[in-house]
């Protein structure tokens, strides 16, 4: 299978942005019942009494939606080999039903693998913004990608 993006197609400072995505009240409650059943994620009335003053999405759902945006913006067309992890995950603002979110992802650094000449890594910072331009979440992650032309060392 041929891909649109290989490791060589990423460069420091490269920015990609997504269109808008939103989560309905029902999607927020369904996700939370399975994965994060704190009352301010599962129950509208209790959420109203909570510190957040209304239903908010689990931070893990926001992170998962961020992943979806990354997939749609470039990852599904890339020769991806997975990710070892992310650093500095920050949930900055609550996400509420109907908020329109979009992704801005910036390449921080690219590095050829020293152990695998057919592979390289890309470190990116992904930021999720709401319809008011407020940053709601950000994280820095590493992706591993196949090289178009394997290099030496």
Partner 1 sequence: MALRYYWEDFTPGRVFETGTRTLSEQDITRFAREYDPQSYHTDAQAAKSSPYGGLIASGWQTCGVTMRLMCDGYLLETSCVGSPGLEELRWLKPVRPGDALRLKTTVIESTPSGKHANRGTVLFLWETLNQNGEVVVSMRGRQMFLRRTPA
113 in contact with partner 1 (CB under 8 A)? no
Ranges within 86-105 binding partner 1 (CB under 8 A): 86-91
- Min CB(109)–partner 1 separation in Å: 17
- Min CB(12)–partner 1 separation in Å: 23
Query: Considering only CA atoms, which of 93, 150, 90, 143 is closest in space to residue 121?
Result: 143
108 in contact with partner 1 (CB under 8 A)? no
Asked if residue 112 lies in contact with residue 79, where contact means CB atoms within 8 angstroms, the answer is: no
Per-residue tokens: 106: 């910036």
Rounded to whole angstroms, the Cα distance separating 95 from 5 reads 31
- Helix pair angle (59-73, 25-35), 10° resolution: 110
30-59 footprint of partner 1 as x/- string (CB under 8 A): -x--xxxxx------------x------xx
Size of the residue set binding partner 1 (CB under 8 A): 30
């Amino acid at each position: 299978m041929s891909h649109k993006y290989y490791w060589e197609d990423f460069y420091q400072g490269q920015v990609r942005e997504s269109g808008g995505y939103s989560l309905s009240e029902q999607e927020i409650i369904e996700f939370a019942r399975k994965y994060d059943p704190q009352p301010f994620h599962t129950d509208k009335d209790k959420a109203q009494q909570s510190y957040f003053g209304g239903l908010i999405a689990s931070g893990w759902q926001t992170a998962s939606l961020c992943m979806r945006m990354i997939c749609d913006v470039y990852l599904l067309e890339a020769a991806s080999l997975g990710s070892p992890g992310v650093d500095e995950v920050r949930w900055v603002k609550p996400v509420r039903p109907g908020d329109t979110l979009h992704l801005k992802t910036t390449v921080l650094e690219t590095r050829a693998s020293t152990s695998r000449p057919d592979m390289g890594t890309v470190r990116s910072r992904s930021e999720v913004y709401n319809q008011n331009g407020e940053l709601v979440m950000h994280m820095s992650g590493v992706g591993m990608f196949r090289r178009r032309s394997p290099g030496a060392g």
